[in-house]
Structure 1
Amino acid sequence: MTTSWRMPAETAPHERLWMAFPRPNETFGDGEEESAAWAEVANAAAAFESVTMLVDPVARATATRLLDGAIEVVETPLDDAWLRDSGPTFVLDEAGRLGAVDWVFNGWGGHDWAAWDRDALVGAAVGAAAGAEVLPSLLVNEGGGIHVDGEGTVLLTETVQLDPRRNPWADRARVEAELARTIGATHAVWLPRGLTRDYGRYGTSGHVDICATIPSPGRVLLHEQRDPAHPDHAVSAQLRRALEEAVDAAGRPFEIVPLPAPGTLRDAEGFVDWSYVNHVVVNDGVVACSFGDARADAAARDVLAEAYPGRRVVSVDARAIFACGGGIHCITQQQPRTPPVEASATPGTVRSDPFRG
């Protein structure tokens, strides 16, 4: 009998939140400001649910100093700290048993600045530590490249899973078949691209989790850049058109709720990709990005509070995280809560490669 796996919506109850702590590398430098930002996200999330933080031995002292004492620290070798991407995607089977999809991770398409020998092992290690059945996949993919509604719909972008540096033999049909097998996605909504800065040196080439998310079935929160001077003004319009033409797994057109970008257009590196879409949902709460723009930050909190009724929205200054190439959602990974089950987890098995030939 073939097991059917499904990735729950992020709004489903969590067992815990997984993160990884920054260590010195090209992305973070010495990392004091970045470490403080990562710790602030973890400490905010820990007020709502359990948090486990992977920490490289070289960063142990800094992590101990900055993290709330309630956060579980697991020492493990790391290259980077974007656990949404290097870690597993958690799924449940029909009986509520936990699985962990172990995607192939190759540094977002093999960037010359990236190292991933250690991070490529994190997905399986986290899955095993969580007591999950590890489900190997031969798809090069990252958790930031997918968003689901828990009912069969997945959002993704053409420039990530179809990136020839990631999956040179893949096409839409093969990607969709693998997402159906691993996360139970029966209907894919392909967006044409991501935000402009995400194609720069430290970018992911278009992760969807900075552009759009599904707070509840049939609704999409969409990043909206309202200033025509910013290149994402045109990108936002393009993404809106794509979503207006799409439906979800149930055949419903999407209600599109705009999340306007903050007023800042540029930093020292160029046009920013600051986005309130890149938040993480936790038990009874939302950890949201703030950007030092009091009016826009407050407006975003109001939108998120309406989109996630009954949850308290807490903002964390995400500018130091975005300067490294991502946001709050990018550094977190939720593990869904599971009911007690009698069957014990069993190791995953390697399957033939559906992305070649």
Structure 2
Amino acid sequence: MNDHVVDRPSVSGPNRRRFLAATGLTAVGAALAAATQGRAGAAPRTQRTAAPAGAFTVPAEDAPHTRTWMAWPDSTTIWGRSLLAGVQADIALIARTVAKYEPVVMCANSASAAKARSMCGAFVTVITSVPVDDCWMRDTGPVFRTDGAGGLDAVGLNFNGWGNKQTHAKDARVAAGIASYAKAAYTSAALVGEGGAVEQDGRGTLMATRSSLVNRNRNPGKTQRQLETALCDAYGASKVIWFDGVNGQDITDDHVDATSRFLAPGEALVQMPLASDNDVYAKDARQQYRILTESTTSAGAPMGVAQLQGPDYGRIRSGDPEFLASYANYYVCNGAVISAQFGDTGADTAARATLGRLFPGRTVEQLDIDRLGTGGGGIHCVTQQQPRP
């Protein structure tokens, strides 16, 4: 499963799931997008020394937030004129919903800031000092870290448009711009990647797909071990659990955050396909589940793995067989879990109940964001947390 996930035939516009055709990627670019290194099944998951006390680390997503960062899309070149309005409505809905629980700052271009303010409402702060190309703040924004002693800094993952598949001149500068606005010291990681490509438990363990990061379109010439070191340095972690992933089928090369998530140190969640589903994403999800059940944390504890059942494609609102609906692409904010619903009433209800059980004390909000999904994304994709120091 990928994190930019949804495809509906009823709405016109470019489709991120079929990006190779939609962007006119050259033969060379397509070959690079398909090339990965070190894809040896459940290959060794090496472990490094844990970060010392007081070092900067990326907290788990359920740690208290200062604010949520988002970005306002306004490009008809990227979205198409008819789809853009619906995507903006979905972004505004997500922003208004998160703003019920914590402050939201929306980065917008000057020409579209007034529309963003009108659609998002008075409880969302819209700024124009950080221009954007698109709305995928999870991938373009900084990864904030804390040191447990009141310190905050930020790391940029050197966003390159998912391997130069989309224009990103502005988005490449978003991480540094937000860090400056937040008055956080900023450094660049020693790799190219995206926030949606990495999950962290806040206690030293990461998970990621090789297809997205051990890929020449992001990190030519770098081995899995070199990238693991760079990830651990950036996140203040000591172990990476790797999945093979799915290469070249979506613009992200299969981000982990639509399939597998951390609930707590030693606890993970995987969205599972129906038993009858057997496409590449279903096989990917099953492999991720198997690998996690065989894994341990950075501290050596066994991993408990919960299952979140995905919907029945025959019952969701979309009739497109390529529609990949991810409940797991939820966002945890202060006091709430913001997730999607897809029109399969039984599965939607069950997903809400599962998330409520897994996140006791938090309100579960389910939103119809099919327009955003048509362009290939979900709620986690368009949000980025700034943790409290």
| TM-score, normalising length: structure 2 | 0.81
Tell me the equivalent position of 1:206.
254
Q: Looking at secondary structure, tell me which structure has more strand per residue.
A: 1
Name the aligned partner's letter for residue 324 of structure 1.
G
For 2:199 and 2:137, locate their aligned partners in 1 and report how far apart those are by CA, in whole Å: 15
**CA contact under 8 A between 2:204 and 2:298: conserved in structure 1?**
yes
1:97 to 137, 142, 151: 151
* 1:101-250 map, 5 Å: 101-111=155-165, 114-194=166-246, 199-200=248-249, 203-231=251-279, 232-250=281-299
Tell me how many residue pairs correspond in the alignment: 331
Name the aligned partner's letter for residue 97 of structure 1.
G
**CA contact under 8 A between 2:313 and 2:321: conserved in structure 1?**
no
Tell me the equivalent position of 2:33.
none
For 1:35 and 1:193, locate their aligned partners in 2 and report how far apart those are by CA, in whole Å: 30
Tell me the equivalent position of 2:42.
none
1:46 to 86, 95, 99: 99
Runs of 4+ off more than 3 Å: 265-270
Residue 4 of structure 1: how far off its partner (Å): 2.5
Tell me the equivalent position of 1:7.
58
> Structure 2 stretches of 5 or more lacking a match?
1-51
Tell me the equivalent position of 1:345.
none
For 1:5 and 1:173, locate their aligned partners in 2 and report how far apart those are by CA, in whole Å: 21
1:81 aligns with 2:135: yes
> Structure 1 stretches of 5 or more lacking a match?
339-357
Residue 298 of structure 1: how far off its partner (Å): 1.2
1:57 aligns with 2:114: no
Residues 224-265 of structure 1: per-residue CA shift (max 9 Å, x gap): 111524513322222222112211112122211111111126
For 2:133 and 2:158, locate their aligned partners in 1 and report how far apart those are by CA, in whole Å: 15
Tell me the equivalent position of 1:341.
none
Name the aligned partner's letter for residue 152 of structure 1.
G
**CA contact under 8 A between 1:79 and 1:119: conserved in structure 2?**
yes
2:309 to 260, 265, 285: 260
| TM-score, normalising length: structure 1 | 0.88
Tell me the equivalent position of 1:25.
76
Change in Cα spacing, 1:80 to 1:237, as seen in structure 2 (3 Å) is same
**CA contact under 8 A between 1:158 and 1:191: conserved in structure 2?**
yes
Name the aligned partner's letter for residue 132 of structure 1.
A
Residues 138-187 of structure 1: per-residue CA shift (max 9 Å, x gap): 31010001111100000111111101100012212211211222211111
Deviates more, 1:279-288 or 1:20-29: 20-29
For 2:61 and 2:325, locate their aligned partners in 1 and report how far apart those are by CA, in whole Å: 21
Change in Cα spacing, 1:272 to 1:199, as seen in structure 2 (3 Å) is farther
* SS of residue matched to 1:147: strand
For 2:221 and 2:253, locate their aligned partners in 1 and report how far apart those are by CA, in whole Å: 18
* SS of residue matched to 2:149: coil
For 1:273 and 1:185, locate their aligned partners in 2 and report how far apart those are by CA, in whole Å: 31
Tell me the equivalent position of 1:71.
124
For 1:58 and 1:81, locate their aligned partners in 2 and report how far apart those are by CA, in whole Å: 15
* SS of residue matched to 1:288: strand
Name the aligned partner's letter for residue 166 of structure 1.
R
Deviates more, 1:213-222 or 1:82-91: 213-222
Residue 28 of structure 1: how far off its partner (Å): 2.0
Name the aligned partner's letter for residue 183 of structure 1.
Y
* SS of residue matched to 2:227: helix
For 1:305 and 1:230, locate their aligned partners in 2 and report how far apart those are by CA, in whole Å: 28
**CA contact under 8 A between 1:230 and 1:271: conserved in structure 2?**
no
Name the aligned partner's letter for residue 107 of structure 1.
G
* SS of residue matched to 1:5: coil
